[in-house]
Amino acid sequence: MKGPAIFLAQFLDDKPPFNTLAGVAQWAGELGYKGIQMPTLNAHVFNLARAAESKTYCDEVKGICAEYGVEISELSTHLQGQLIAVHPAYDEQFDNFAPDALKGNPKARQAWAVEQLMLAAKASENLGLNAHATFSGALLWQSAYPWPQRPNGLVEAGFKELAGRWLPILNAYDDAGVDLCYEIHPGEDLHDGVTFERFLEATGNHDRCHILYDPSHLLLQHLDYARFIDIYHERIKMFHVKDAEYIPNGRSGVYGGYQSWVDRPGRFRSLGDGQIDFGAIFSRFAQYGYEGWAVLEWECCLKHPEDGAAEGAPFIKKHMIRTTDRAFDNFSGGYADEQSNRRILGLEESAPLTMIKRADK
């Protein structure tokens, strides 16, 4: 495992140090981070189009980061990925993720999103990255709670269409040698293990279709987030380290009563302030040989973001496990070979049983 790293989406701003690459790299490095996960819609900090066309620009970016002791862990197209598939019910709200010239034009907006994902594949390749973060978008989310009941075949049709939109993009990432990692997240059609399996199957089990694992979104769904790693570890290529809590009450539940985050029973917290068992998570990643980054995503309804960021690096570092290269009880073992193992088992060492003559013959 590599890290700690920090996702910059909640920090980039038009004020120092968050308005330049050098400023944010220095800030992250001084907090103890080794990596920065880079959103791709802030051209004043990172220019996606330039990165896709120019290795020289990418080398400059890497040089600036290295000066402050960090590197880019991955690029992110969460907002652009969302626009690959938008149900008309959400058109106006998701227009906010697109350039002004494309608002009110869903087809043009989707085409722009596809282009952005393609640029990110090439930019990731030019930067020498092997994984990319995004959202799947959603055509079915408005029917997650089936009332009125879903017509037969609706879910299958939805995942077939979603996979059809993503397959050319997945193929481009395959050409670039980059894994495309979908954050499993409510609001997306890929929001739990079953929906990821449906999508994966619809893509023909595409080699580049992978998971960005964030336990906070699984806790709030009452899903066993540790067991999730046991099941899907071969497809988990990215990890957002984010805490959450669910405190039941008598007035609202997992849907939150349309309340603000601070008043909801389920809410996101800074690392260590919620209910996530990170010891179990990091242990499982160590067990399965996870080689990606551990990336803080700050989304706390109470704590200031800069305080959460400052606390995040040591928290992640404390939980990262350097795996052992030997068994703890090796000191008590002895030399072993086939003959000694047969003696321990009480087996004959001489002739095979089929060669021993019976005494009455």
Question: For residue 358, is pLDDT > 60?
Answer: no
166: tokens are: 């993503």
Question: What average pLDDT does this structure show over 38-62?
Answer: 98
pLDDT in tens, 260-305: 999 999 999 999 999 999 999 999 999 999 999 999 999 999 999 9
Average of per-residue pLDDT values in the chain: 95
pLDDT recorded at residue 350: 52
46's CB contacts (< 8 A; 6+ apart) are: 21, 38, 39, 40, 61, 75
pLDDT in tens, 136-192: 999 999 999 999 999 999 999 999 999 999 999 999 999 999 999 999 999 999 999
What domains does the chain contain, in order, with CATH numbers? 2-333 (3.20.20.150)
> What confidence tier does 351 reach under pLDDT thresholds 50, 70, 90?
very low
pLDDT in tens, 315-350: 999 999 999 888 888 777 777 788 888 888 999 655
115: tokens are: 């282009």
Cα angle vertex 277, ends 275, 283, to 5°? 170
Q: For residue 173, give the H/E element and its range.
A: helix 154-176
Q: Which of these, 129, 7, 134, lies nearest to 62 by C-alpha position?
A: 129
> What confidence tier does 353 reach under pLDDT thresholds 50, 70, 90?
very low
Are 37 and 8 in contact, with CB atoms under 8 Å apart?
A: yes
